[in-house]
Amino acid sequence: MNSKLSTPEKCYDPRDLTLRFTDKEDELDFLYEGFASRRALMSCGHAVTPTSLTNWCRKLLENGESRFVCGQYGCTAEWSYVEVRKMALLTAEEKEFFERNMGLNAVKIYFDSKQCPECKYTATRRDESKLCVSCQVCTVRKGEPYEFCWQCLRQWKGPQTRTDRCENDGCYNEALKTLTNCANITFQSIKEITGCPSIRACPTCGYMLEHSSRDCKNITCPRCKVEFCFVCLKITPDCLQTSTHYIPCSSGVAPRQISIPVWQRK
């Protein structure tokens, strides 16, 4: 996506009684551009101008997000697209950009998606346990089934039932290689724990995580929002039945993972 700031600057209508105007500074003007428009309050209470709001939400979309979250430090408020569309005074062109990329980003987040190596169209993978994926566009164009490898992004070779790799040279799982070769972590407040890898795949959804804290052994996955123990790989409530956040796990350190868990969305 190409970053393109809103020009000319958009301004609120001072007669719009549906807006909550304020004398506060524009709290999304991170580059201190000093937009001339009156400031109005979002539902979370932070002050914006339509141009600063447009630029912030565009940046979120360009970073792969499909939701609009307040940019102020410590504020986790999520704005609806209806609110953003109104408060940002989106033009017809901007609405088209926002809606198209909201959809594309949502597909990437909620459905595993990649570009087909042959036709470059986006293909989605509903079954995350399968590496052999069929491209419907290429199948129609070629008049015969076309499958590619989700891992090495080349035309599939070998039995379709293989789940570790296809038979193309150099096909390997980068995530598993990382899990195998990453360094161990040292917990500053739990010296008894040794041999724990610094990178784990979330036991619920398979998201790759590096532990950034050296004190508490538990971490919350930003993808599935499930908290688990980085040491024993049990979800936190199960781990805490026989342990605490700051003492070794009764079951010890779980071995390095040799497979990536598949998220069973309900």
Is 5 inside any structural domain?
Answer: no
Q: With bands split at pLDDT 50, 70 and 90, how would you rate the model's confidence at 265?
A: low
Is 15 inside any structural domain?
Answer: no
Instruction: State what percent of residues in the chain have pLDDT above 70.
Output: 93
**Residues forming a β-bridge with 115:** 122
Residue range 222-245: mean pLDDT, rounded: 88
Q: From CA 80, how far away is CA 87, in angstroms rounded?
A: 11
Residue range 143-157: mean pLDDT, rounded: 93
Domain range spanning residue 125? 112-172
Q: With bands split at pLDDT 50, 70 and 90, how would you rate the model's confidence at 5?
A: very low
25-50 pLDDT tens trace: 999 998 888 899 999 999 999 999 99
253 and 187 share one domain: yes
Q: Look at the block and give the residue holding tokens 């193309």.
A: 168
Is 55 inside any structural domain?
Answer: yes
84-129 pLDDT tens trace: 999 999 999 999 889 888 877 776 665 567 889 999 888 877 777 7
CB 202 within 8 A of CB 224: yes
Is 95 inside any structural domain?
Answer: yes
The mean predicted confidence, pLDDT, of the chain is 86
What is the number of other CB atoms lying within 10 angstroms of the CB of residue 59?
15
DSSP state of 69: E
Where does residue 128 rank: exposed (0-12), middle (13-18), buried (19+ CB within 10 A)? middle
**How is 180-196 classified by DSSP, letter by letter?**
HHPPEE--TT-TT--SE
CB 26 within 8 A of CB 3: no
Q: From CA 89, how far away is CA 172, in angstroms rounded?
A: 48
183 and 260 share one domain: yes
Q: With bands split at pLDDT 50, 70 and 90, how would you rate the model's confidence at 1?
A: very low
134 vs 105, 114, 121, 125, CA distance in Å? Answer: 21, 12, 12, 9
179 and 257 share one domain: yes
Residue 86, SS3?
Answer: helix
Is 11 inside any structural domain?
Answer: no
Residue range 150-161: mean pLDDT, rounded: 91
Phi, psi of 228 (to 5 degrees): -145, 165
Phi, psi of 253 (to 5 degrees): -85, 125
Is 67 inside any structural domain?
Answer: yes
Q: What pLDDT does 113 receive? A: 76
Is 16 inside any structural domain?
Answer: no
Is 10 inside any structural domain?
Answer: no
Give start and end residues of each alpha helix (H) in the chain: 50-62, 81-87, 92-110, 136-142, 174-181, 236-239
pTM exceeds cut of 0.75: no
- CB within 8 Å of 239: residues ≥ 6 apart: 218, 228, 229, 232, 249
For position 32, which CATH number holds?
Answer: 3.30.40.10
Rg of the chain taking only CA atoms, in angstroms:
24
In 3D, which of 6, 10, 74 has the Cα closest to residue 44? 74
User: What residue type is 4 in one-letter code?
Assistant: K
Domain count, the chain: 3
26's tokens: 């524009």
146 and 194 share one domain: no
Domain edge (last residue) among 72, 94, 109: 109
Instruction: State what percent of residues in the chain have pLDDT above 90.
Output: 42
**Residues forming a β-bridge with 60:** none
